[in-house]
Copies of this chain bind each other. A is one copy, B any other.
Amino acid sequence: MLDSIQKHLLEEVADLHSVPEGAYNIRSNGQLESRNTTANIDIITKTDKSGIDIKIKDNTKNESVHIPVVLSKSGLKETVYNDFYIGENCDVTIVAGCGISNCGVQDAEHDGVHRFFVGKNSKIRYIEKHYGEGDGTGNRILNPRTEVYQEEGSYVDMEMIQIKGVDSTNRTTIAKLKKDAKMVVHEGIMTHGGQKAESSYEVELNGEGSSADVVSRSVARDDSTQIFSASLIGNTKCNGHAECDAIIMDKAHVVAIPRLDANDVDAALIHEAAIGKIAGEQLIKLMTLGLTESEAEEQIINGFLH
């Protein structure tokens, strides 16, 4: 049974108030808490290392898989390998996420390696939220690695959000797209205190007609540091767009390093980046509507990240 801290973490990372419908695998403090499979979605514990295989049959539509992870023990460090094998012509939603509550003095760390093998013409919506809390001096560390392999005509929509409270994160996402495959990524990261976040994307557009749209939005407060790099590689007739926008506050430090690599005359690649503070006019407008300055800031940040 989950305690109240764990239940709160689950709410934050997976919007779960009770047991989810459909397939799920809830991992708590390094152990399986509960699991459900369906006729179309199987979840199998790996035997060679920590983690699970999620197997989704061809033509599975309108189903979901939840695989949240919660950590509430100081000093726990784990690396978990989750592989998603998605058949052809599917349309499924996958909700992952990790919440850490660290009230102790030792670091708590979860490193998740997620691989997605997306079958022909399948459509995936993937939501990943990271959240940390707790008064301890131990750090909350999350290092996710995400690999996406898209077959012809597949569509992947990823929403990757780091809400707050993660002291150190090193996020790596790579993707390889075949013919007519499409990827849409929306990343939102907030750092505060002395936190450090590093995020890198490398998307290879290998198949004719493939396309990628990677949008990263971040807010860096206090003394936090963020480094964002996004590489779009166009090896054929393809379309790529990357955008990284950051709001900088207080004494924060933000670095954005996009990279466009066009290897084909029919590769069309675009990048935009902007770093700046919250516009004064926006703050004043909200304050004239009755918000305090910090409420107005909060509202602007939330609108920007979501």
- Report the stretch among A32-40, A177-185, A247-255 that lies at the interface: A247-255
| Residues of B contacting A261 in the complex (Cβ-Cβ under 8 angstroms) | 253-255
Q: Which residues of B contact A80 (CB under 8 A)?
A: none
Q: Does A291 contact B (CB under 8 A)?
A: no
Does A148 sit at the interface, judged by CB under 8 A? Answer: no
B262–A269 CB distance below 8 A? no
In contact, B252 and A271 (Cβ under 8 angstroms): no
CB within 8 Å of B: which A222-250 residues? 234, 246, 248-250
Q: Is A20 an interface residue (CB 8 A)?
A: no
CB within 8 Å of B: which A197-230 residues: none
**Residue pair A267, B275 in contact (C-beta under 8 Å):** yes
Tell me what chain A mostly uses at the interface: helix, strand, loop, or mixed.
strand
**Count, chain A residues at interface, CB 8 A:** 32
Number of copies: 2
Instruction: Judge whether A273 is part of the interface by a CB distance below 8 angstroms.
Output: yes
A92 adjacent to chain B (CB < 8 Å): no
Q: In the complex, what residue of chain B is closest to A266 when comparing beta carbons?
A: B277
**A1 adjacent to chain B (CB < 8 Å):** no
For A249, the chain B residues whose CB sits under 8 A away are 265
Max chain B Cβ within 10 angstroms of own Cβ: one of A249, A250, A268, A273: A273
A301 CB to nearest chain B CB (Å): 14
Contact assessment for B262 and A248 in the assembled complex, using a CB-CB cutoff below 8 Å? yes
Report whether A257 and B254 are in contact in the complex, using a CB–CB cutoff of 8 Å.
no
Q: Show 21 A/B contacts (Cβ-Cβ < 8 Å), sorted by A.
A: A248-B265, A250-B265, A254-B260, A255-B259, A255-B262, A256-B271, A257-B258, A257-B260, A258-B271, A260-B275, A262-B275, A266-B277, A268-B276, A268-B277, A269-B276, A270-B273, A270-B275, A270-B276, A271-B271, A271-B272, A271-B273
